[in-house]
Amino acid sequence: MNWYLNFVRGYPFVSAMIQFAVLGTLGDLVSRRLSGSKESASVSLILTKMLVWAVLSIFIKVAFIGFEGFVNTLGLYRVLPVVFFENGFLNALARSLAMNLQFGVFLVLLHRLLDNVVERKRNWKKLDSAFLSLLWFWIPAHTVTFMLPKDYQIGLAALWSFMLGLLLSTFTHSNREVE
């Protein structure tokens, strides 16, 4: 485990890019498979999706740093009560709410735009569901994430990306069975 921590500390952006490229793409591929898609993913599509996830990870890493500062500044100016800085859960919840309600919307749109470019199509369907995932999935998930030591946060966020892919494909598969 020390090698992981040393790598994350020594190369925070590179490690974020690798973790998201692997886990995010794996989530996309598993989701695609479980949702019943007949299309197989080519090597070039997989590599391009890995690049998209790597690019997204840079924005995510910067957001993790920036929204920690944002929430701390809210406390400094007494916009948030002191209890948000004495209680780890409330601090993590404040960071998660601030990040997902502000940055999350941008990230959902950017992710969809990049996916459209990669897949050479215009797919803006179910964008409302993607926005809703900020509320029911990402706010709770990032609250847990922000309760961890910093060195583990990006890794867990990348794992959450994989898990969301599994959840969404399960929902898609369940909806098809009902119809």
Q: What is the pLDDT of residues 40-87, one digit of tens each?
A: 889 999 999 999 999 999 999 999 999 999 999 999 999 999 999 999
- In angstroms, the CA 104 to CA 179 distance is 31
pTM of the complete model: 0.92
Does residue 112 or residue 179 have the better pLDDT?
Answer: 112
| CA dist., res. 139 & res. 133, Å (int) | 9
**Confidence band for 159, pLDDT divided at 50, 70 and 90:** very high
Distance (Å, whole) CA 39 – CA 121? 14
| Residue 22: partners with Cβ closer than 8 Å, 6 or more residues away | 50, 158
pLDDT tops 90 at residue 117:
yes
Could you state, in order of their start, the residue ranges of all structural domains in the chain?
13-178
% residues pLDDT > 70 (the chain)? 95
pLDDT for 174 beyond 70: no
59: Cβ contacts below 8 Å, ≥ 6 apart: 103, 107, 110
How deeply is 165 buried, as exposed, middle or buried, from its count of CB atoms within 10 A (0-12, 13-18, 19+)? buried
Q: Would the CA dihedral through 126, 140, 26, 167 be positive or negative? A: negative
